[in-house]
Every structure is written in C-alpha cells, then in structure tokens.
Amino acid sequence: MHSVLVVDDSSFMRKWLKRIIEQDGFRVTAEATNGFEAILQYRKTNPDIILLDIHMPKLAGVDVLKRIMSINPKANVIICSAMGSSFLIEECLKLGAKDFVKKPHFEGLIEKMNRVLEANEKTVDD
C-alpha cells in the first residue's frame, strides 16, 4: 500500500481527498494544513506521493514544492488546486511536480497517482 501526504489548508478538502484515495488502496500517512507543516511531515514520513495545494497560509505551495524538490529531486508531487492557470501549472511542472489535478472533483487523480508510481518503478528497474 502506497503512502500519501495530503497538504491542504481546508479540512474538508483533506477529508474529501482522503476518502477518494483510500478507496483505491492508497494510505494517507500524514496531513498538513500549511506549507511549513508540509515540509516537516514530508521529512518525517517520506511518503510515496504528496498531494499539494497551491494556495495556503504561511508558505505557498510553489515554495513548498521548491523545498521538497531540493530535499529529494525524485519526490512525487501532484499539485491539487482550483486555481489551475496554465502559467501556474507550467511553473509547477518545471519545478518538478509530476502532474496536476483540478479541485474539487479531482478527475483522473487515481490514474495520475498510479502513472507516477509506475514511472518510478520503471526508473528503478532501468
């Protein structure tokens, strides 16, 4: 079972995401309500996937992404945001995010999570 860190300042969104992904065999091992907490939880739990909101208090998601990627350039970060401007998505992908999914419906999230993990397994096998 793959571990997931869910980062969102909305408790409703964290619960909603947890429900969606745990139905498909993933396990939420940690949650964070702001950017600083996200980095601490990432270091503490080393999850297989990080679902990261962009707009959060204390430290924005883009800055969290930069810090996580500096800790581990192979981290599997998927951006989850209602604010899906093409510039923002492109910036996050350039910084190392593996994919993007739009809130609140999270269409294709499980498929994207599985694709990211499969790509990692192929990289490890090569």
Would you list the domain boundaries of the chain? 3-125
Task: Give the span between the Cα atoms of 37 and 106, in whole angstroms.
Answer: 23
The pLDDT value recorded for residue 5 is: 98
The pLDDT value recorded for residue 123 is: 63
CB neighbourhood size of 30 (10 A): 19
Task: Give the span between the Cα atoms of 77 and 80, in whole angstroms.
Answer: 9
The pLDDT value recorded for residue 49 is: 97
Structure confidence at residue 124 as a pLDDT band (50, 70, 90): low
CATH of domain 3-125: 3.40.50.2300
For residue 57, cis peptide bond before it (omega within 30 degrees of 0): no
Specify the DSSP element, H or E, that contains 37. Answer: helix 35-45
DSSP structure class, residue 68: H
Q: Which amino acid is at 37?
A: E
Phi-psi region of 123 (alpha: psi -120 to 50; beta: other; left: phi over 0): alpha
Reported as a single tens digit per residue, the pLDDT across 66-89 is 999 999 999 999 999 887 677 888
